[in-house]
Amino acid sequence: MHHFASGFQRNYYGKADVIVYRLRKPGGVFGASVTMLLYGDAFWPTYAAGDNTGLVATDSMKNFIQWETRNFTGADLETYCRFLAGKFLRTYPQTEGIQVEALEIPYDGAVALVPRGTERSMARIEITQEDVVEIRSGIYGFKLLKLGGSAFSGFVRDQYTTLPDVHDRPLHMWLDLEWICPEPITGRVREIVHQVFRTFESGSIQQVIYQIGVKMLADLPAVTEVRLEANNRTWDKVSEDEIYTEPRPPYGVLGLTLRR
């Protein structure tokens, strides 16, 4: 299910996973998977009566995204989403509101390009004919590992508890985060995540993500909200001579939202 910052919409439709690559010479690729969703009363007759008079075909939406990417001169996803959404509203005024989300398809290198790791930046904008409803950005897919400086102890103990107290462990966690900010700050957010994870000695993963969120709000005054969700993927110890294996399929999920 898709959600809108403006609230419940009686009907919406659009095109998802529209792949675009724009080559930037002398090297580099701007790559994204785009989802565009429209809503408005002009599209209701398609649902109620099969009347497509005001409908923009989703295939036309796909072509719009791919063709108009040629005219986008920026490099960040936030500006890209605003560019596509604004031009679409001007082109099709029967659209009351639009939500555009772009998920980065990352490549590194200058001439020989290779896919980059697991991290993918994201931007999503919802605007109407009157105003911007929300601009939200994020980075999905952090995989973070450090060999010490993490503890987990003092938790509830009862007949269901088998986990021992650990005062210094290797910590392996995955992290997704989103934020609301009117300007592009993805590079700085990536630096903050790595810095806090590397330097902070924690008593829990919850404390790690809290410190990341607090530092984002402190260092980036334009940020008004941060959402974080971590997975506990800490390795299972096989033997006392520091041999580990991947954790079993059940994993902990830890979420946090901080607002200014």
Would you please indicate which residues are annotated as catalytic (active-site) residues? 15, 58
Token representation of residue 147: 């060999």
Contact 25, 120 (CB under 8 A): no
> What is the three-class DSSP state of 153?
coil
Residues 6 or more apart from 134 whose CB is under 8 A from it? 5, 6, 124, 125, 126, 180
DSSP class of residue 6 equals T
Tokens of 246: 């991947």
Per the DSSP assignment, residues forming a β-bridge with 34 are 18, 102
State the DSSP H helix or E strand holding residue 252, giving kind and residue range, or none if neither.
strand 252-259
